[in-house]
Each structure stands twice: as structure tokens, then as C-alpha cells.
Amino acid sequence: PTANIGVVGLAVMGSNLARNLASREGNTVAVYNRSYEKTETLLTEHPEAGFVATQDYAEFAAALQKPRTAIIMVQAGRGTDAVIDALTEVFEPGDIIVDGGNALFTDTIRREKAVRETGINFVGAGISGGEEGALLGPSIMPGGSAEAWVTLKPILESIAAVAEGEPCVTHIGTDGAGHFVKMIHNGIEYADMQLIAEGYDLLRRVGGLDPAEIADIFAEWNTGELESYLIEITAEVLRQVDAETGKPLVDVILDQAGAKGTGAWTVKSALDLGVPVSGIAEAVFARSLSSKPAQRTASSGMPAGAEEWQVTDRDSFIEDVRRALFASKIVAYSQGFDAIVAGAEEFGWSIEKGDIAKIWRAGCIIRARFLNRITEAYAEQPDLVALLTAPYFADAVGGALPSWRRVVAGAALAGIPTPAFASSLSYYDGLRADRLPAALIQGQRDFFGAHTYKRVDKDGTFHTLWSGDRTEVSAADAH
Ligand code: 6PG
């Protein structure tokens, strides 16, 4: 056997990852695709890569040195199970199967358990960065066993993006930990994109700026604390002019956002874990709302009851939007990290939060300057209970408050939807509140279902005899 690594699945992501692997010193890459045509195309287009082409799984396995390592890059779902089954037939104990797709982490937990019984290692690895990332250096989030990581480490480090000299890959935790963290990455990606979109909408509808002017503003923001890949590409998208109509491209794109499901998975998991990822949830729901043409058309004539938002000082309005965006973004990351902490506890993973922020600094879609601050925050306080309360973030949010409130209140008065800005601010106000109306909810629950409550002034669990004489009894004597 001549190859030290193999790739199964040669669609764009798989081909690019295979080329990335082949371009690194010392690697010989075996490739396999269900239809051989794609393999041939890849070989013809990239003879420099020195790929070892194989036509079936047996040939693929025979081409690989032991322990065999194969990265699966097929569309997540049933296809993944079929490939795993085929590989376990031809692989041997000690070999490693890596699933580099966007698999649901619970599927990864199930697959890892099943494959482990054969003695083969199964590693679910989140890979972020799109097509370009796969080719030039993605951010990689591998789960699986520590034993498999020993073999995978040098290979994955060689192809990952590099941030300040460090490769953007680390062993996240056992079984599904890597795919779980990738899922949260995508949830944050959804929130980040929605916040940027809300900021753009305000600059356009309230600030009266055109897409090209807003592109300049985003480009300018990209030189400061908001610096990130998503802000950078936003400027590019807004600057693009449609060749056919001469209009800004953003004005001819149908305003119905698609979604492949990872954002919704994040919210579903967070619901199960009891973690309020409200910013991410609003981002997912905003995409759903946008994609309901019948409901939107039926509602389009409904009254706004709005007031015109008079902007007197355009520069300070733009600065208000920037600060609201930054504060809301901090909330989204804070919520995402809360979900990681809760997931780690629930599924028994030991996850280094600071290391996650580190490997997100380059390669991935949410790469951003302020991720260094997250790493620092967790380095200073490993048991930080809420990212939001770390000094840098508390200061940033604190400084943004007047702007943030003006933007959310102004948008509400003007009838402009800002679900992610508004829910992030509400989340912040909820967290910092001394008392929440949750006390009333407990009272209601006790009234209709004798669900009991605790008191602020003494230990124990209590119930009021609502349908009797309304005296309070200790819950132990309630029934
Ligand atoms: C990445 C991305 C990627 C994701 C796309 C599309 O990290 O490279 O998160 O994995 O598939 O962003 O996602 P949606 O189609 O759901 O927007």
C-alpha cells in the first residue's frame, strides 16, 4: 500500500479536502467515489496531487497503509451509514474512519458505539470553512477516542487553517463532541448572519443609505472590534451589482433564506438541555418567517402603526447600530458557549472552552478577531459561568447599552423587525434582573396544578390551598 490517508466522497468538499491533504509534505492520498467518473475527473484535473485512484472499497482498503485512515466526505444522512458499513467490512481493528460531514451529533454517538464494537475507531469531525476552507485550510473539530486522535493529530494539523502560528484543530472530546461543537458553531453562524442582516436593514431603511454605502460601512467596521469573515463578505455581497439589471445584487435576490438544518438542530438541542439560546433561535425563526410567502403576502397589507424614525445625526446612528450589533453578537457567542458547557455535562465530554475559541480564529465561517478575547476570558476564569460577565465582554456590552436600547426601541417604534437585536437585549436584561416574574409563574403553576414553590425567606417546598382556605402548607403535607 502506498497511501497514508484516504478520502471517500469526491463532491466539492471531498475533492478539495483530498487536494489539501495531497499538497502537504509526506502525504499520499487514496480516493474513492461511488461513481468512478468523479474520481477520473479529479485525477485528470489534478495530476499534480498524485492521487491513488480506487474503484471499490476493497481496492481502497488495500491502497492504505495501516492503521488505515479514511475521511468520509458525503452528504450527511443515510449515505454516511452506507459508507461506514462498507468501510467496516474492509477495514481492520485499529483502523480509523473519520466522518467529516455535518452529521447530527446523536447520530455520531450512535455510529461511534456501533463501529467501536468492531475494534475500528470512528471519529466524527466537524469541518468548517466551506469549499475554500477545505482546500486551503479549514477549522476542524474532531471527536472520537484519544487513541484515534494520536494518529489523526499530525494529519489534521497539517491541513488545518493556522491562526497566530497555531493549527485550528484540537481533540474536542469523545464520540459526538466534535459534531456537537460544529453544530453550535453553525448556530452562532446563524445568529451572526441574522444580526448583520438586521444592522444592514436599519442602515438602509432608517439611515437611507444604499447598498454600496453600507458596503463601505461594513468594510470600515471590519477594521475594528467587529472584524470577522462574515462582516468582510457582507461588504462584498453588498457591493456586487447585478449584470443583468444594473441593480445592487442584494435587491434582485429573492428574500427567502434557506437552511440545511444545523441551526435548527442547535436550538432543538438547547431546548432539551434547557439553555436559552434565544439569539440563535430568533435567527433560525427569522429564516423560517422569510420563507413563508403565502403568510407574508396575506399579511402584507396589515397596518404598521409606526412612527417615522427621524435620524438627526447619521454618524451617531451608524455607531448605535454598530454597538447594538457587537453587543448582540457577544450575547450569541455567550449563549453558544453556555450550550457547549451544558452539552459537555450532559454527554460526559471534557471540553476546553478556550481551545474551542482558539480553533475558531481561522478557517471557519465565524472566524473573528474577538475570539482571542474568549480564549483569554476562559484562561483567566476556567469556570466562568457566563461569558457575558467576563471583564472584556461586560465592558463592551455595558458601553453599548444606550446605543443598543435606542436601536431596539427605535426599530420597534418604526415597525422594523429586529428579532435578534431585541431578543439579545431582553436576554441581557433578564439575566441581570434582581427579580423576575418567574415568581408569578410559580404561583400560577401552584394554583392550577399544585406544582409547589420555594420561598425566598426559608427552606422547604410549599403549596397554598387555593381551592380551600388558602393557607400555606409545607409541600410534604400538601396531599
Ligand atoms: C461551515 C458552514 C457549513 C454550512 C453552511 C450552510 O462551517 O462551513 O457552517 O457547514 O453547511 O453554512 O448552512 P445553511 O445552509 O444551513 O445556511
Answer whether 101's CB lies under 8 Å from 76's CB.
yes
**pLDDT score recorded for residue 1:** 82
Confidence category of residue 476, pLDDT binned at 50, 70, 90: confident
From 27-36, 383-392, 409-418, the region with the lowest mean pLDDT: 383-392
CA 293, 329, 396: angle at the middle one, nearest 5? 150
Stated as kind and residue range, the H or E segment containing 301 is: none
Is there a cis peptide before residue 67, judged by omega within 30 degrees of 0?
A: yes
Q: Are 296 and 254 in contact (CB under 8 A)?
A: no
Average pLDDT over residues 444-458: 98
CB-CB contact of 423 with 412 (8 Å): no
Q: Which of the following is catalytic: 182, 329, 353, 358?
A: 182
Give the confidence band of 469 by pLDDT, cuts at 50, 70, 90: very high
Quote the pLDDT of residue 477: 66
- Give the percent of the chain with pLDDT over 70: 99
Site to probe by mutation for ligand 1, drawn from 136, 189, 193, 288 as the one with most ligand atoms within 8 Å of Cβ, is 189
Answer yes or no: is 101 a known binding residue: no
Q: What angle do CA 320, 322, 327 make, to 5 degrees?
A: 95
pLDDT averaged over the chain? 97
> Residue 431's closest CA among 399, 396, 392, 387?
387
What percent of the chain is modeled with pLDDT above 90? Answer: 97
Check the annotation: does 128 bind a ligand. Answer: yes
- How many beta carbons lie within 10 A of that of residue 355, not counting itself? 16
What is the predicted pLDDT for the residue at 77? Answer: 87
Please compute the mean of the pLDDT values over residues 453-461 and round it to a whole number: 98
Pocket test for ligand 1, best of 127, 185, 186, 356 (most atoms within 8 A of CB): 186
Q: Supply 269's cell numbers.
A: 438541542
Of the candidates 121, 116, 353, 373, which has an alpha carbon nearest to the alpha carbon of residue 225?
Answer: 373
Residue 315 CA to ligand 1 centre (angstroms): 34
**Does residue 78 register a pLDDT over 90?**
no
* Residue 129 among known ligand-binding residues: yes
Residue 171, annotated as binding a ligand: no
Residues in contact with ligand 1 by the CB-under-6-Å rule are: 102, 128-130, 186, 189, 258-260, 262-263, 364-365
Per residue in 92-137, pLDDT (tens digit) is 999 999 999 999 999 999 999 999 999 999 999 999 999 999 999 9
Tens digits of residue pLDDT in 149-164:
999 999 999 999 999 9
Report how far residue 211's alpha carbon sits from residue 343's, in angstroms, rounded to the nearest whole number: 40
Vertex 237 angle, CA 234 and 240, to 5°: 150
Q: Please identify which of the residues 45, 132, 147, 189 carries the catalytic annotation.
A: 189
Rounded distance, CA 85 to CA 393, Å?
47
State the ipTM, two decimals: 0.96
Give per-residue pLDDT as tens, 193-231.
999 999 999 999 999 999 999 999 999 999 999 999 999
Return the ligand 1 atom nearest residue 138 CA.
8
What's the whole-number mean pLDDT along residues 344-349? 98
The residue whose CB lies within 8 Å of the most ligand 1 atoms, and thus the one to mutate among 16, 102, 366, is 102
Give the cell for residue 187: 448556530
Residue 257 in this model has a pLDDT that exceeds 60: yes
Averaged pLDDT, 51-57: 98
User: Quick check: is 232 catalytic?
Assistant: no
Residues 6+ apart with CB under 8 A from 296: 289, 290
State the distance from the centre of ligand 1 to the C-alpha of 445, rounded, in angstroms: 41
Beta strands 121-128 and 96-99 are: parallel
Indicate if the alpha-carbon torsion angle 466, 472, 474, 478 is positive or negative: negative
Concerning whether 282 is annotated as a catalytic residue, the answer is no
Going by CA atoms, what residue is nearest to atom 5 of ligand 1? 130
pLDDT (0 to 100) of residue 479: 52
- Positive or negative: CA dihedral 271, 273, 274, 280: negative
Q: Which atom of ligand 1 is nearest to the CA of 139?
A: 7
Q: Which atom of ligand 1 is nearest to the CA of 133?
A: 8
Q: Does 102 carry a binding-site annotation?
A: yes
The C-alpha cell of 156 is what?
Answer: 489534521
Which residue is closest in CA terms to ligand 1's atom 2?
A: 128
Distance CA 320, CA 408 (A): 10
62 alpha-carbon distance from chain centroid: 37
